[in-house]
Amino acid sequence: MLHQSKRNAPGRSWLLLASIVWSLLGAFFLAHAQTITNLQQLTQALQLQPRVARNIQLEATVCAASRPEVGVLILRDYSGVELLELGNLGQKFQAGETVRIQGYYSLLRRRELGIELSANPVVDNDGIHMRRTWGGEAILKAGLNPIRVEWFNHLREFQLDVMYSISNAPFQSMEASNLTHAVVAASGETNFSGGLQAEVFEGYWEALPDFNLMLPVKVGVATNFDLGIRTHDEMVGIRYTGFFNAPCDGQYLFRTRSDDGSILFFGQAELPVTRVGSTNVPLPASGFFGESMRSLSERRWLTISGRVGFVSQKGRGLEFELRSDHDVLLIQVADAAGLDPLRLHNALVKVTGVARGFLTLGQ
């Protein structure tokens, strides 16, 4: 009887086997998600790979903070210092405040400036790849549930489809009737309107970037996850935000089929950052050009002076060369509000921030 069942329904058997393997893998990774308790562990977790999942339980002092919407904090604790990209903070933090960051099975991504932290996405279909379908699940309540989908295309073909299923029902596309976004009136009253807020970005990426550090080239409302709002076919990314109107309570399955990468969040994508006290503002050490560092994973909170060379705007920030005689350092500023690139050129400045090592020709 068992032999006959396998012969008559091979697809069902393979589906069951795939589900079992998926569950076992999920349980394995959850069981082996280490807890990050200090900044040195956070830095070292991403030395060998660009993204990992970890539990986060950090407490550190703010050295510097960007505007809330940029979402960057430079933190220091007993183990070291690191620049964290945390998404929209929703509140302004000051140097000297002690903060706590907590998250279960959070996503850590190595970035050009530092490390990005976020909640674990429901669907993680990131990277450069051909059309690929990836899935995940979430338990939702009936009614409006915050949703965020990010997508990018590197070169050539592009695609994005977002689908869902309730329990074991067939998958269906997210229709415009299930998607809304918040609109705040001049009076401060919040209303809901059909469609999703869409921000379009341009750049050359091999994985989804941190859109919070970038300036959108186009902003509008998309009826659903329609790529028609894009400005180009290649080297383009879109962030959709709004609400999914779940028809009932239950366990939902989600899929994205994309070329290239896509990622889907439900609920709050940002990890909670809470104040727990205050202390003295961490004083930076004095740095100098050509200073050696013990390893590429070392970070230092320091101040260094020099003359500004080439300056370019980079999203919400700046990138410039800091010169001293024949030595040059690359300086990256996450939030350049109030800085005029034209006035910076050839100016003598003092820079305070996180210093990282790089390999010279002599290693």
User: What are the per-10-residue average pLDDT scores of the chain (363 residues)?
Assistant: 36 39 43 82 94 97 97 97 97 97 97 96 97 96 97 96 92 92 86 94 97 97 94 97 95 96 96 96 92 87 95 95 91 94 93 89 72
pTM of the model: 0.88
Residue-level pLDDT at 290: 84
Residue-level pLDDT at 17: 40
Start-to-end CA span in the chain (Å): 67
Strands 132-140 and 250-259: antiparallel
